[in-house]
Structure 1
Amino acid sequence: MTPATPSPSPARGPVDHEVRDQIVTAATGHFRLYGYEKTTVSDLARAIGFSKAYIYKFFGSKQAIGESICAACLRRIEADIRAAIDAVESPPEKLRRMFKAIVESSLRLCFGDRKLYDIAAAAAAGQWEVVDIHDRRIQEILLEILRQGRATGEFERKTPLDEAVAAIYLVMRPYLNPMLLQYGLDYAEEAPAKLSSLVLRSLSP
């Protein structure tokens, strides 16, 4: 008897990626309709036609699915900030544009779709890892701008860089955290200019 030739193993990577995307797309739709807290993994399984156990092969929990969606939203905010500051050369103007981009992008993503705000609020309240990563990236951008400003002589050099970054980040934080942002909506239009001007005065050499 001729031995059977073993079939080649299927390429799991691309297939897994497609399934993960399908789950995230279904989850995003459900979260928009019903909210993050009211949606269960069972709801998603029924919507996609998968078993609940199969979904757990790709995501260990509903939070893991939420983190994937949240991470994509936060990357868009970071991309908006990067585009805003890369469009100018002056470090002070970069800082002004960073404040403006943070407020505008956060408002658009968190409050343009109220149901997705639920995910952002859960992420902030639960201190999800994606939020910590996002906060570090914001501070890295701040550090980059401060270094440029000190190199050009436009910013003071007495304050330790880490202290300056931490202080400016605290000024920005109410517009990065959706739970805090909801209480500052009345001032969102004027806040970027006023706050950035205040910070820039403190950075004057």
Structure 2
Amino acid sequence: MTGHDAKEKTNGSTSMIRDAYWPSDRPEPEFEGRGPYFSASDEAILAQGRDRILDIAEKHIRRIGHRKTTVADIASDLGTSRANVYRFFPGRAAIDNAVCGRVVKALTEIAFSIARTDATASKKLVELLNVLHQHSRRTLMEERPIHELFVAATNENWATMNAHSERIRAILEAIIRQGLQSGEFQAENVDDAAQGVITAFLPFSHPVLVAQCFQEEDEIAASVNAQIRFIMRALGKSDRRGTEASEATLAATANSDPDYLSHFSVPVIYECS
């Protein structure tokens, strides 16, 4: 519904914030056509309504996949009508996009936590690449419906997946820039170096390529190690000792934040030696 439609429906006098009612009889807002009377409390109600829908949608997607999940399924679980769901999201595609954003947010937060540590740039880079690979492999092996969601999001250029990719790229650029400043890395251009790392590591992080290049654990570990060594050499890192992923750092972080590695059940930390 456009802002003009909302104005016609309300005669331009009040917001439609109170038009959608849930089984609890608590008023829930419409997410478009807010009008001039949309308040901060309405924003909070809106966020709660969206979260309730996404909680249910994610549950269904994890169980049967995003293509089989319907707005009718979501509305039924909420005990409301499809029309009320559409007050928050224009369609199922928007719901799928938002659920995808929710899931990748956890990975982005872990990537940021790696970048904020006091470790050397080379250790941060290796740790980040390991985490990106673990995440892709875990979803492929243990959460196939989520993996299929990522494949669709990547192939169809969903906004949330594109935003996630840009955040990961920005983190890579920051790590590479740190390495250049400390003398660990050598590169003429940070942007080109980051793109080179992303391209070189695609077989181990891209959801489609990870599925196509499925290998046994020992084989994939050797392949990841070899590719990380290649990346580090390409960045001008000649001291191999500096390229090892620090298990001690990972363990210390996990102890201080028990949820840090809970997203990654594949118990493998690959090292460059």
Q: Residue 115 of structure 2 contacts residue 171 of structure 2 at CA under 8 Å; is this kept in 1?
A: no
Q: Determine the C-alpha separation between the residues in 1 that align with 2:222 and 2:78.
A: 44
- For the 8 Å contact 1:31–1:116, the answer to whether it is kept is yes
Please, what TM-score do these two structures have when normalized by structure 2?
0.66
Report the counterpart of residue 6 of structure 1 in structure 2.
Answer: none
Of 16, 19, 25 in structure 1, the residue corresponding to residue 49 of structure 2 is 19
Is the contact made by 2:111 and 2:128 (CA closer than 8 Å) also made in structure 1? yes
Is 2:204–2:224's contact at 8 Å kept on the other side of the alignment?
A: no
Task: Map Cα deviations across residues 141-195 of structure 1 (whole Å, 9 max, x no partner).
Answer: 11111111111112113x3222111111112233332122212331543343222
| Structure with more helix by fraction | 1
Give the alignment of 1:1-205 within 5 angstroms: 11-157=41-187, 159-186=188-215, 187-204=219-236
Q: Distance in 1 between matches of 2:166 and 2:204?
A: 15
Q: CA deviation at 1:134?
A: 1.1
* Range with greater deviation from structure 2 (132-141 or 179-188): 179-188
The alpha-carbon distance between structure 1 residues 71 and 188, as it changes in their structure 2 partners (threshold 3 A), is farther
**What is aligned with 2:34?**
none
TM-score, structure 1 as length reference: 0.86
**8 Å Cα contact 1:77-1:106 kept in structure 2:** no
Letter in 1 for 2:123: E
Structure 2 distance, partners of 1:110, 1:76, is: 17
Q: 1:96 to 1:88 in 2, by over 3 A?
A: farther
Runs of 4+ aligned structure 1 residues displaced above 6 Å come to none
Q: Does the 8 A contact of 1:67 with 1:128 survive in 2?
A: yes
> Which ranges in structure 2 are unaligned for 5 or more consecutive residues?
1-17, 19-26, 28-40, 238-273
Could you tell me which amino acid in structure 1 is paired with residue 101 of structure 2?
Answer: A
CA drift at 1:85:
4.2
Could you list the runs of 5+ residues in structure 1 that have no partner in the other structure?
Answer: 1-8
Aligned length: 196
What whole-Å deviation, never above 9, does each CA across 1:18-49 have from its counterpart, x for those lacking one?
21111111111211222111111122112211
**RCO comparison, higher one (Cα < 8 Å, 6+):** 1
Question: In structure 2, what is the Cα distance between the partners aligned to 1:100 and 1:166?
Answer: 17
Q: Does the CA contact (< 8 Å) of 2:140 and 2:211 recur in 1?
A: no
